[in-house]
């Protein structure tokens, strides 16, 4: 949802930065890698230490690279299959680092098994959401449906983590993680049913 409504605005804002990086001879792939490293370090260093709001600020500083590299690819003549593959693969690493950092915190010094479980559920289900679409497309189907797209999940967890730490409210983040876990599960089911409908239409399902 956020990706659809904010893409044009974000592209307009980040476009000049993308052009500057290209003029400096920096490739979209480099931006992708640096962004992933920054997000992962921010999540896996600050989150387990309980410094959630600092981690969110560091992650936010790098997470826009995921948009900038795409703009750079378009400005330089179009994205390549390699660039798309690298971007999608490293996105999964960044996502896992964010939720994994929360798991480490609540399983450690945060000492809250329920929160650790919710964060782990979001990590696992978020990976399945991405896999369900990638596997479908690899088999010739489409599965770009669902109520919990990647951008929505990231914005929700980062905003919740920031304010939860700022106001010392575990409940706030817990509610968001629970909602994200449910939304991710629903999205997985939506994608499964969408692919099944296409498979039925193609006569590839044995009833």
Q: Which residues contact 124 (CB under 8 A, 6 or more apart)?
A: none
Exposure string for 106-145, b = 16+ CB within 10 A, e = fewer: bbeebebeebbebbbbbbebbebbbebbeebeeeebebee
Could you tell me which of 61, 58, 72 has the C-alpha nearest to residue 30?
72
- Give dist(CA 102, CA 94) in Å, integer: 13
Q: Decide if 91 is catalytic.
A: yes
- Give dist(CA 71, CA 26) in Å, integer: 13
Q: Give the DSSP letter of residue 111.
A: -
Q: Which of 66, 91, 95, 165 is catalytic?
A: 91
By the 8 A CB rule, do 138 and 47 touch? no
Annotated active-site positions, please? Answer: 91
């Amino acid at each position: 949802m956020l990706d659809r409504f904010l893409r044009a605005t974000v592209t307009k804002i980040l476009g000049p930065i993308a052009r500057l990086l290209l003029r400096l001879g920096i490739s979209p792939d480099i931006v992708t890698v640096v962004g992933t490293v920054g997000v992962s370090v921010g999540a896996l260093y600050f989150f387990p230490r309980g410094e959630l709001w600092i981690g969110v600020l560091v992650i936010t500083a790098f997470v826009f690279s995921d948009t900038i590299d795409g703009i750079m690819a378009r400005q330089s003549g179009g994205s390549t299959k390699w660039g798309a593959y690298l971007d999608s693969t490293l996105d999964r690493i960044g996502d896992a680092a964010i939720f994994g950092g929360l798991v480490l915190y609540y399983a450690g010094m945060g000492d809250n098994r329920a929160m650790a479980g919710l964060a782990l559920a979001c990590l696992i289900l978020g990976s399945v959401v991405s896999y369900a679409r990638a596997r479908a497309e690899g088999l010739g189907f489409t599965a770009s449906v669902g109520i919990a797209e990647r951008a929505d999940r990231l914005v929700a967890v980062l905003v919740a983590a920031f304010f939860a730490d700022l106001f010392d409210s575990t409940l706030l983040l817990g509610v968001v993680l629970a909602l994200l876990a449910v939304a991710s599960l629903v999205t997985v089911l939506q994608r499964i049913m969408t692919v099944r409908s296409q498979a039925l239409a193609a006569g590839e399902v044995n009833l």
